[in-house]
Structure 1
């Protein structure tokens, strides 16, 4: 009887434990499902017409915005940001694009003042800012300058008498040495200047700067006048000159478990941070070979090897340039877990959890195949032996990056490993058929497009196509960021991905082993399992359905907010067009879901609950996300003008023709000028809504020093203004003008009471360009008076009570891509056609049957042309197709 009681109690305890564990699993799954619903992953890809440009040209791009692993076009965000970032990390251009059903098209004009070099093209949505900026879209674009620059550089480090020097050779674009001149140089580290000076180049066009501890490996900036007396700037990254080959070691799952078979990955890099081939030997303490492997052209490899707790290990590497290095193997874990993944089977994925002896305790182990909390497979086994094996079929998984998470009974991760699954059904079939086998100069090319399979119910896809002249573009046209690498890899992996196109075959399939080595040597986007219970906390950056204007209303001259302030956003184009909203208890207000073009002015007005305007209004400025300058640093080139000389000169000739014919705007931007005359100075605290000094006429304190009253000073000195009865009248209709004194609207007859000694400036606004911002107050013109000692003069950024003029960034307008047509009587022709981008077609949309077509004309140059088509269908299937054809 006693034994039976013990058995029943044990059975009840086991059932209770099993029930509690089942509830725990169910609760964990509920939390993960909620996480996925509240934190969808948004990713962007930009296809550009090409990857290098000259100043004066235009970058043409198309944005694809998708959601999660399924890659379906996103309707989460309607606003996308595209930024062009200079070699020094400065954002030189930002475009705001309206995303409609997940796509947008745009362009960036490259002004003449851009410094030659490697630029970053970055794209993101506001929602994506809730994650690490490393997961934004980013690609490197090389921009040369042979228009306002015309100087080539070739840089290196030399040694003379045991001293290192930076040596920069400066030639003109034809290869002749630059005449002797003085050059200002500056070394920067981040935003800090660490060294600067001035040196002269020698008769051979060479500049030498001594290497010091301060400037070693820092970014070098040069500034000088070229022979045409135009200011030229150069940037040179000197970091690679002082680096050496290196090796990194990555145990599978992050841990090396002693007395167990481990897979260890290696990454070998040259001084520029790119992969270099190498032979690697893992040696025991007694110099016996435990394993050996050779890396691929991108410097990656992995090898299985047995690691003993009783041994110490070193890694010896011999690089392809015959240099060698030896490092210690990372620490060995004697108590813990490791993981081994086998993907060699086409149909199944095997994951083995390895345990140290003390972890073989019969506890439950769970395996979750998940992507940012979206669980595709969940199973459990008991820790009854040192090796616990899990398996699952692959056909249930989409294409993309997954995380294998091994969790204990408390759903705490023990070890994780990222893997890539390829599902051929997720590739979008695409056929491109040209109407001829080959073409002549200025020939029309018609391309028939067909996507999908005949058994697809719907075959609608959004595509974009670029056609390049490979003679000018270069042989590396395939080795670039693609829609496959952006949405399958870059959106989930952390760090620099060299040559992302390497991992995808032309038919869209993958190089399995190389791709797995890539995942073993990179970090990835993770979820924090411990923070899943904080889902009720709001995200910092909301998905934008339109543009937003956010600000705060505060009591005049104070920090205290104005609760429940009545706010209005008024268009200066039509003052009857306005939007109302109410601030919250902290005076914070939002005007959202707005759509307006760039460079539009608005007025923001505010009243408190009693209708008074004693309010200061502030509007938040857009804060650009931080930039990781190290992410794509290996792709950043020095001496771009020299590297792309022939292409840049051909482009300069072609685009000069476009400008001369009025087919392209000149985009020269004057960066530095010598000021010969100054506009009369107006105090910064001027209440002029157009900005201090932006007026039709200005009088300063010096102009008013000889009068007894202000009315006497102004009478007869203001153009288009007459005084009648002490009031200022606009001669256009003889109507009374509005007087604004330190931001206050006052009557005209007050002029006679103002002591001119107290006046800092008088600004007259009569032109509609200056008066329109004032609405009805500006109908008859205004006279803006700023006092030297006005009560509001202490505020550096003075604004009138309850009114603020703003010019927020709006949706960028896109210009049309010029498409020549060599038909009889066609006006769209060139005298000499030397295009690099032969055609750009961003708006390809297939019909229900999956077909469409587009056409273009070849140029005056023979050779191989390359068509690159990318896109996504409504089911989220991705495609990239490259087609070469000949022009004879």
Structure 2
């Protein structure tokens, strides 16, 4: 049997979403060719999009707040391309829970299938209370830096320590940051400046302030509008020196006015450009203005782009240091667009963001059959996507709302449309999608100025291609990487065959040659759960090389604003005690049912396929030494004794002759190069023996036949491997945990005395609804024993990339 070698990147799945997505990306880039009127600028952007297509992840959590010891459930959505359609580029997502010090407290590899995945984390009972960042990324996304990773925030309450909670002292110190429109303040040019005021714990603060020049003269006044943000306009004067702002925190009713503090504005440039954007006189239009100082080149290039695709490209000629352009908003895509100003030498000069509310969202509905229910009653829920273009993939969560419920994360439509283009978390992102009027437009503008960022640098776009990307996509499961070096040094060892295996009853073996940097790459496919992996070189080639297994998780972290700190509040002590009791009751009465896992399909065929001969040793009279077993029962394997001990030779069925070298000898899939050790093993521990009587090719490795021994349990049965073999614990893909929810279909079940104190009534990450005009998807679940108001949250994405969410509630009334 011939094992095909690994193909270099790019390698795409024909017939899958990946091929369609990349073809669509190339078509979109080709469609923009007429826009390439800026000296090749838009062509460079299209080339960059083809070489580094964008990939994005979104996580839908089952709820925003957890107790230590509870299970966090989530669904992953993978999108990409200019339209943000579902994209099956990667098959593995890396998900981490980080504490306030950016230290991972939980990590997992979640399989992605057809651009979605589902995973869980069991939060340790010892996990301290606080706000935790959950980040998710693929190997491919690491090419764009950690800022491009998904970041969400969840709150964890440790009720074991909450009963005596003492709130942390409030910090009176404030911090202000200023963001000039277009990127810089320029002497003599009127500029808009956005700002944000927070305390030292990252919480937005309402404040007022005054801008002063170097002589202490007031040049502008300002006040916060929403979320500690606001803006003001002023013209940096010639010879005025540096500018600063005196800021006063707003005082509450009857409180003394807090002490003011001073913060510096960004430095003022003597020469440059200012790019500004404002509503035009006509509805649906924008007025873009470019200003420059005297002596600057009069011709500049303007490029509007979104998701690696050009939307508008035009040269502008300044007259008397000023140029204006009216832009029709209909020409811009939904979501965030960037207006970037370039010099004729294609050097970026200024950039401005604009947000267009999505015009083509996915309309989702989730209607329970009643507004109120009794305990342990059936809830029939009809879920529909009324305008979906084909099937839509959805996730549904139903949980109880109480005083401890934390602020929710952005929904999928809010994240893909807005917050993924911003740095840090956004307070109440739904406001920027629903609110209208001048006040909402100003607040949105200030948000974009304060928290906007770019997924790429123009230097990367404009420089010539410099080889393949550093991180290739994982198309067929997690890629395991290792490095070979000389013993006691960091000098790489190149050109050595290395073997990767994991003892099992399913025989799997992977090989690779180390490259010039000593790097190895293995693709073990769908390896689930905790595994013991073993890496070794062929001692006939080298017996001194040191093997190091590389960590697949990113050690780079995004620079994000500090999320607001979380305090355990004494006024919620009763609520903490109630939730603690509920959680402990659920653990006692239903704990094991929460640990059910779905059996994942496995391919039981060994990597070498069907052997030429198989010997179930229990079918033969047992001998106590392997030499007798092989001589008596296995004619395809010849035992020879030489000066260095035993040798095995297999018969070549093609040439009808004996191979002169030892075959590849395996024990539970692990190569054993010392035949003497395998011959000394107790044959009563071996259940089966497979023999391949022909030359076998695996990538660039070739074997003179294969002799594979399998033990009863697939665990090596205490066999002592060579001490040079690297043995290491490895966490494979997450196994799918099954969501447990009791049913009360019969009167006997409803009368059960077993308490049902669930906060999370329902979680289903695998709901599929058909397109518009079809019947809703019926779902059902049962309420528990806790009265209160429950939230139904539905999120999803259809095949065109249209995203949507829906929230509705129902009541569970107390038992009579």
Q: Name 1:153's counterpart in structure 2.
A: 165
Tell me what 2:267 maps to: 331
Aligned-pair distance for 1:846? 0.5
| 1:320 Cα deviation after fit | 0.9
Q: C-alpha separation between the residues in 2 aligned to 1:489 and 1:131?
A: 18
Show the counterpart of 1:418.
Answer: 353
Assess if the C-alpha contact under 8 Å between 2:761 and 2:783 holds in 1: yes
Report SS of the residue matched to 1:392.
strand
Partner of residue 302, structure 1: 231
2:515 is equivalent to residue 592 of structure 1: no
From the superposition, tell whether residues 327 and 765 of structure 1 become closer, same or farther in structure 2 (CA, over 3 Å): farther
Query: How far 1:334 sits from its partner (Å)?
Result: 3.4
Q: Is the 8 Å Cα contact of residues 586 and 758 (structure 2) preserved in structure 1?
A: no
Q: What RMSD in Å do the two structures reach over aligned CA positions?
A: 4.1
Q: Distance in 2 between matches of 1:34 and 1:278?
A: 46
Q: How does 1:626-705 map to 2 (within 5 A)?
A: 626=555, 628=557, 631=560, 633-639=562-568, 645-664=573-592
1:612–1:386 Cα change, 3 Å: closer
Q: CA offset at residue 272 of structure 1?
A: 2.1
The more displaced of 114-123 and 323-332 is 323-332
Is 1:393 equivalent to 2:328 in the alignment?
yes
Match of 1:868 in 2: 793
| Contact 1:89–1:629 (CA under 8 A) maintained in structure 2 | no
How many Å apart are 1:61 and its aligned residue? 0.7
Contact between 1:441 and 1:860, CA under 8 Å: does it hold in 2? yes
Asked if 1 retains the 8 angstrom alpha-carbon contact of 2:82 and 2:308, the reply is no
- Provide closer, same or farther for how the CA distance between residues 656 and 410 of structure 1 changes in structure 2, counting only shifts above 3 A: same
Distance, in Å, in 1 between the alignment partners of 2:678 and 2:304 is 80
- 2:730 partner SS: coil
Q: Distance in 1 between matches of 2:292 and 2:113?
A: 51
Would you say the 8 A contact 1:354–1:386 is kept in 2? yes
Residue 279 of structure 1 pairs with residue 213 of structure 2:
no
Q: Residue 51 of structure 1 aligns with which residue?
A: 64
Aligned with 1:121: secondary structure?
strand
Q: How do residues 774-793 of structure 1 correspond to structure 2 at under 5 angstroms?
A: 776=709
* CA distance in 2: counterparts of 1:806 and 1:618, whole angstroms: 11
Residue matched to 1:90: 103
TM-score scaled to structure 1, two decimals? Answer: 0.68
Aligned-residue offset at 1:114: 2.2
Cross-structure match for 1:853: 778
Q: Post-superposition shift, 1:99?
A: 0.8
Q: CA deviation at 1:368?
A: 0.2
Q: By how many angstroms is 1:602 displaced?
A: 3.8
- CA pair 463-643 structure 1, distance change in 2 beyond 3 A: farther
* 1:812 counterpart (734, 753, 760): 734
Please state whether the residue corresponding to 2:522 is helix, strand or coil.
Answer: strand
Compared CA separation, residues 768 and 130, structure 1 to 2 (3 A): farther
2:730 is equivalent to residue 800 of structure 1: no
Counterpart in the other structure of 1:124: 137
Structure 2 spans left out of the alignment, 5+ residues: 1-34, 252-256, 596-623, 628-645, 647-666, 688-706
Pair 1:64-2:45 in alignment: no
Separation in 2, partners of 1:655, 1:766: 49
Aligned counterparts of 1:624 and 1:85: Cα–Cα separation in 2? 13
| Separation (CA, whole Å) in 1 of partners of 2:353 and 2:221 | 24
CA contact (8 A) 1:284 1:314 kept: yes
In the TM superposition, what are the counterparts of 1:371-770 in structure 2 within 5 Å? Answer: 371=306, 373-425=308-360, 427-453=361-387, 458-471=389-402, 473-474=404-405, 476-477=406-407, 479-505=408-434, 511-531=440-460, 532-545=462-475, 546-553=477-484, 563-574=494-505, 576-584=507-515, 588-592=519-523, 594-607=525-538, 612=541, 614=543, 616=545, 618-626=547-555, 628=557, 631=560, 633-639=562-568, 645-664=573-592
Native 8 Å contact 1:606 1:617 kept in 2: no
* Residue of structure 2 in register with 1:342 after alignment: 278
Residue of structure 1 aligned with 2:193, choices 248, 256, 264: 264
CA contact (8 A) 1:367 1:380 kept: yes
Task: Write the distance in 2 (CA, Å) between the matches of 1:142 and 1:822.
Answer: 32
Corresponding residue for residue 822 of structure 1: 744
Counterpart among 288, 301, 313 of residue 351 in structure 1: 288
- CA offset at residue 314 of structure 1? 4.5
Aligned-residue offset at 1:80: 0.4
Give yes or no for contact 2:144–2:456 (8 Å, CA) kept in 1: no
CA distance in 2, matches of 1:311, 1:564: 65
* Equivalent position to 1:885, from 799, 803, 810: 810
CA shift, 1:286, in A, is 7.5
Contact 2:505 2:711 in 1 (8 A): no
* 1:372 and 1:526 in contact (8 A); partners too: no
Deviation at 1:366, TM superposition (A): 1.0
Distance 2:559 2:450 in 1: 16
Cα deviation, residue 270, structure 1: 2.3
Secondary structure (helix, strand or coil) at the match of 1:128 reads helix
Match of residue 767 from structure 2: 844
Q: Confirm or deny: 8 A CA contact 2:211 2:218 kept in the other structure.
A: yes
Q: Which residue of 1 aligns with 2:604?
A: none
**Which digits, 9 at most, give the CA deviation of each residue in 1:365-411, with x for residues without a partner?**
11000236421110012223221012322223222222211111111
Q: CA deviation at 1:54?
A: 1.5
CA deviation after TM superposition for structure 1 residue 630, in Å: 6.5
Give the Cα–Cα distance (whole angstroms) in 1 for the partners of residues 326 and 121 of structure 2: 49
Verify the 8 A CA contact 1:601 1:808 in the aligned structure 2.
yes
CA drift of 1:413 comes to 1.2
Q: Note the C-alpha offset of 1:463.
A: 1.2
Q: 1:285 & 1:96 partners in 2: Cα distance?
A: 55
Q: State whether residues 340 and 351 of structure 1, in contact with CA within 8 Å, keep that contact through their aligned partners in structure 2.
A: yes
* 2:38 aligned with 1:107: no
CA distance in 1, matches of 2:184, 2:299: 21
Partner SS state of residue 521, structure 1: helix
1:41 pairs, out of 54, 61, 66, with 54
Q: How far, CA to CA, are the matches of 2:97 and 2:36 in structure 1?
A: 51
SS at match of 1:600: strand
Offset at 1:878? 1.3
Q: Deviations over 1:180-221 (max 9, x none)?
A: xxxxxxxxxxxxxxxxxxxxxxxxxxxxxxxxxxxxxxxxxx
Contact 1:765 1:783 in 2 (8 A): no
Query: Residue 486 of structure 2 contacts residue 492 of structure 2 at CA under 8 Å; is this kept in 1?
Result: yes
1:80-109, Cα deviation, whole Å (9 max, x unpaired) = 011122344332221111111221111111
Deviations 1:545-582 (A, max 9, x none): 11112224567788776654344434421364334444
Deviation at 1:534, TM superposition (A): 3.6
- Quick one: distance in 2 between partners of 1:543 and 1:369? 29
Aligned-partner Cα distance in 2 for 1:666–1:867: 21
3-state DSSP class of the match of 1:634?
coil
Could you say what secondary structure the match of 1:814 adopts?
Answer: coil
Q: Which residue number in structure 1 is paired with residue 249 of structure 2?
A: 319
Structure with more contact order per residue of length (Cα contacts < 8 Å, sep ≥ 6): 2
- Aligned match of 1:368: 303
Say whether 1:246 aligns with 2:152.
no
SS in 1 for 2:766: strand
1:778–1:745 CA distance, 2 compared to 1 (3 A): farther
Aligned counterparts of 1:586 and 1:413: Cα–Cα separation in 2: 36
Comparing 290-299 with 864-873, greater Cα deviation is found at 290-299
Distance change (3 Å), C-alpha of 1:856 and 1:510: farther
How far did residue 647 of structure 1 move? 4.3
Please tell me whether the aligned partners of residues 309 and 332 of structure 1 are also in contact (alpha carbons under 8 angstroms). Answer: no
Give the deviation of 1:836 after TM superposition.
Answer: 1.8
Residue 63 of structure 1 deviates from its aligned partner by 0.9
